[in-house]
Amino acid sequence: MPDPVPVSRRRALLALGAALPLARPALAQAYPSRPLRLIVGFGAGGISDLVARLVAEAAGQAMGQTVVVENRTGAGGNIAAEAAARAAPDGYTLLFASPSLVSVNPILMPGAGVDVARELEPVLPLASTPHVLVVRPQSGLRDLPAFLARARAGKGEMNWSTAGVGTAPHQTMLLLQALGGTGFTPVHYRSGAAGVQAVLTGEVDVTSEATAVVVEHIRAGTLTGLVAAAPERLSLLPDVPTAAEQGLPGLRNGSIAGLMVPRGTPPARREALRAGFAQALGQPALQHRLAQQGTIPLQGDAEAFGQLIAAETARWRPLLAGLSAG
């Protein structure tokens, strides 16, 4: 039976078939093929910004593309979360996220413009930094019991700086109010560094901030570290006692961060991000630089970060449900 396909056409089809395997790599473009954007919900100089930039640099090296940090401040991280949620789910927009975005902000700020749990999804946990409560040396306060006694006597007149409702330092002060049986007047600033500066100048009385933000001030004697909100004394500040040592064992908190992406991001790209950032966190050079900030790198995957968020929600919901966002 004669071949119904002309010889010339058959040769063209054979040539096309031979070329297709070579074309597939070009069609399935390597990821990432351009810089990634890491959105941070807090201003320059705070612990979130410091850690995000360290991790972004190392992750960029691991993934072969620059990871650009973009600060989008306000609303306890919700503005940054909304910007990430509205971005294309293509793996090029990432959020440097704290569990509080999912577990705390909905309690303190109901009706926010973004539903983080629904619109974003976790990739992996990144790092954790314990908090330290600090005052000016001129206050004469040297320990937590004396501080609480003065705060109770002042009946809410003592003020404290915060980088925003729902931030981890804000949570620490709310926890201190609940456990210590006292109250403070909040004064809001755009970043943790600005809030610490307000204590240094005497504009406010006290603040709680991540170790990295206050360690040099404590070492220089320009701030007094009253308490470390950690299970044990911090290696960077061995002379600052824990809350448990001073009769308030429940005062434990820190700045925890993880990576999230817009929901709908392809699984292969989420896995590439997890692998790239995990590789970065495993580098001794990055671990050393994080340790200098009093920060501990975390391990795990999307499930581990989801479990961390669930645990934080269970811990904070009963406490914060009856408290004002202040």
> Quick one: 152 and 75 in the same domain?
no
Range of 155's domain?
130-246
> Quick one: 272 and 222 in the same domain?
no
Higher pLDDT, 17 or 308: 308
pTM above 0.75, yes or no: yes
Instruction: Give pLDDT, residue 248.
Output: 94
> Quick one: 97 and 241 in the same domain?
no
SS3 14: helix
- Enumerate the H helices of 88-143 as residue ranges: 100-103, 105-108, 116-119
In eight-state DSSP terms, residue 25 is H
Q: Give the integer Cα–Cα distance in Å for 284 and 59.
A: 13
Total tally of structural domains belonging to the chain? 2
> Quick one: 224 and 278 in the same domain?
no
- In a domain, residue 3? The reply is no
Q: Give the integer Cα–Cα distance in Å for 120 and 4.
A: 55
> Quick one: 185 and 238 in the same domain?
yes
- In a domain, residue 28? The reply is no
The CATH number of the domain holding residue 286 is 3.40.190.150
> Quick one: 87 and 74 in the same domain?
yes
**268 pLDDT higher than 90:** yes
The CATH number of the domain holding residue 196 is 3.40.190.10
- In a domain, residue 41? The reply is yes
List C-alpha distances in Å: 184 to 108, 173, 239, 295.
Answer: 17, 8, 26, 28
Type and span of the H or E element at 5: none
Q: What is the pLDDT of residues 76-116, one digit of tens each?
A: 789 999 999 999 999 999 999 988 888 888 877 877 778 89
Q: What is the pLDDT of residues 160-171, one digit of tens each?
A: 998 777 777 888
Higher pLDDT, 282 or 7: 282
123 and 258 Cβ atoms separated by less than 8 Å: yes
- In a domain, residue 313? The reply is yes
> Quick one: 204 and 169 in the same domain?
yes
> Quick one: 124 and 260 in the same domain?
yes
Per the prediction, the chain carries an average pLDDT of 87
3-state SS record for 198-254: HHHCCCCCEEEEEHHHHHHHHHHCCCEEEEECCCCCECCECCCCECHHHCCCCCCCE
- In a domain, residue 21? The reply is no
- In a domain, residue 23? The reply is no
Which of 197, 228, 246 is the last residue in one of the domains? 246
Which of 246, 264, 283 is the last residue in one of the domains? 246
β-strands 206-210, 159-162: how paired?
parallel
195 and 242 Cβ atoms separated by less than 8 Å: no
Q: What is the pLDDT of residues 299-308, one digit of tens each?
A: 999 999 999 9
Compute φ and ψ for 157, nearest 5 degrees: -75, -25
- In a domain, residue 235? The reply is yes
Q: What is the pLDDT of residues 228-242, one digit of tens each?
A: 998 899 989 999 999
> Quick one: 156 and 217 in the same domain?
yes
> Quick one: 105 and 143 in the same domain?
no
Instruction: Give pLDDT, residue 326.
Output: 47
CA angle 156, 160, 161 (to 5 degrees): 150
39 and 94 Cβ atoms separated by less than 8 Å: yes
Look up residue 216 and give its amino acid.
E
Q: Give the integer Cα–Cα distance in Å for 224 and 138.
A: 9
Burial, 66: exposed, middle or buried (Cβ in 10 Å; 0-12, 13-18, 19+)? middle
> Quick one: 106 and 157 in the same domain?
no
Q: Per the structure block, which two tokens stand in for 50?
A: 């410091």
Which of 183, 214, 246 is the last residue in one of the domains? 246
- In a domain, residue 27? The reply is no
Q: Give the integer Cα–Cα distance in Å for 169 and 161.
A: 9
> Quick one: 162 and 223 in the same domain?
yes
Instruction: Give pLDDT, residue 47.
Output: 81
